[in-house]
Amino acid sequence: MHNLILKKHYLFLFAFLLVGASSCKKIMSLLSFQVNDSSTFTVPGTPFLTGATVNFPVVTVATTSQSTYKNNNTSADYVQDVTLDRLTLTVSNPSTQNFDFLKSISIYIATDAAGSNKVLLASLATVPTGQTSISLTPAGNKLDMYLKNSSYTLTTNAELAQTLRQNTDVRADSRFTVHAKLP
């Protein structure tokens, strides 16, 4: 009889812990979500020779973070951990262009065009040939201050593999993972 009561208590405790663990996972998933941003910029045709390091024009990105925070019942005030998951560059024009003109590329993020607080966002040390779309490696930096604003700027530093003879339009698609506290 005593064993039966003890088994019932253990069964109840196990069920309680199982429900509690499930609820914690649900709460944690509500506090983690993605912010997806996209921007386009033009890489000017350049007479620079192979091996030259060039800076592309600064791009201001109007982030979707504020609306994403609202859709997830939080605000920038409660954001506590933002990291970059993915950054993909895709040639959008001309259709015959690929990334063969790049040897390496580094993209930096800042809160403004002056870039006083810029940090490395992502890079690719060796750009593969023949590709119209490339994925950069996230730097792993904490990006809270950049995604708490309504916009941020991107600056690009690249080493050329060959001369880029024409202006080339590029789309940058980024995905950030955001962790936020409950309001």
Quote the pLDDT of residue 22.
44
Cis check for the bond before 128: say yes or no (omega within 30 of 0): no
pTM reported for the whole predicted model: 0.81
Residue 66 contacts residue 151 (beta carbons within 8 Å): no
- In whole angstroms, give the CA distance from residue 8 to residue 12: 6
Residue 155 contacts residue 110 (beta carbons within 8 Å): yes
Q: What is the full per-residue pLDDT of the chain (183 aa) written as tens digits?
A: 555 554 555 545 454 444 444 444 444 445 899 999 999 999 988 876 778 888 988 999 999 999 998 888 889 999 989 999 999 999 999 999 999 999 999 999 999 888 889 999 999 999 999 999 999 999 999 999 999 999 999 999 999 999 888 999 999 999 999 999 877
- 175: number of CA atoms within 13 Å, CB side? 7
**Among candidate residues 76, 155, 72, 142, the one with its CA nearest the CA of residue 110:** 155
Contacts of 142 (CB under 8 A, 6+ apart): 81, 82, 83
Which residue(s) pair with 71 in the sheet? none
Quote the pLDDT of residue 7.
53
CB atoms within 10 A of CB 163: 13
Q: Are strands 32-43 and 151-160 parallel, antiparallel or unpaired?
A: unpaired
Quote the pLDDT of residue 181.
83
CATH 3.30.160 fits 33-180, yes or no: no
User: What is the chain's length?
Assistant: 183
* Residue 163, phi then psi, degrees to nearest 5: -65, 135
